[in-house]
A and B are shown apart, each in its own frame.
Chain A
């Protein structure tokens, strides 16, 4: 339950940050997708269910506050959350490069879906222009900021779930196998 609450709080905080502070920090003319980063991180660390939950919260906030139709972003974010959740097997506490790669892949994936849903459907077929102008810079930026969020969430996780003795560690190991 702690995971869900922390996921919810993190998504809300990141949503607020993304729509305010990072609107001013646009070095390449793009803002980082922090809520996607949070969704990805929770999915990567805890699994598809947590990822989907974070995705639903993210998509709901985006849809309700910024989109005309409620539901499309929820689907996008939760699908990305689910897909990145399947990489949970690659989660090791010491590693930093794999989560970075996962962050990048999830952002590419999300933007690809986003392009299909919002641009291709309107007949905009210049995918490579968007790739160059929006997707690649946003991905790089999201990876950089997302890494810090990842480190923070990992630190938070270590506070909530302190390293335990063997029996429970085995249980965690079993959980990993699901």
Chain B
């Protein structure tokens, strides 16, 4: 059995535009895999395919050897969680409530106990709250549990978003540009955090990372996949990818085009 996430020959077209063309990649357990590429290379589309926001025209996805037909609200049940660009936090919920919401699929009490305010519903909430506080503790932001996200610095909000995803206890975490908007110091802390994720003691999780910030990608990823115009132009360890002429071409070529324009 092929463990972890596997994408086989994924193709996506938006009208006449080919967003993804024959993309295959694997995220085995215990690994951090990065997806890089110039703007518009198809990185976010790739995430949207895995999450079920975009249906691929061709190809297949498998999770732990089983075919995956993703629907966004079922993902956490399958052990996959995703963060969004920006933070995507619920502005009207406290930090703690945001994180509790991440574990929605583990709630057991049904509608009737909730309506009647039965102890079963209270116990369920108490457990979600404890678990959420644990995650906040692990990320060092438990002090902000009762704050509204809007009142916090961006770096903390970014961590809350990560905590919300981790509250689902995923086996695979999809991180969509987690370093966006962060300062150098925060990025260094984030890198340390991401490196630990596959080796956490309870709930180790593999990571698939889309990121622009090269230093972060090179320092945390075990493997890299480089996309350009929807195609995989290179794959391998960070060192292999760095020296790949196709990659330098794609990046330098883009830079030259921009300079010319």
Bound pair: A and B?
no
Chain A interface (Cβ within 8 Å of chain B)? none
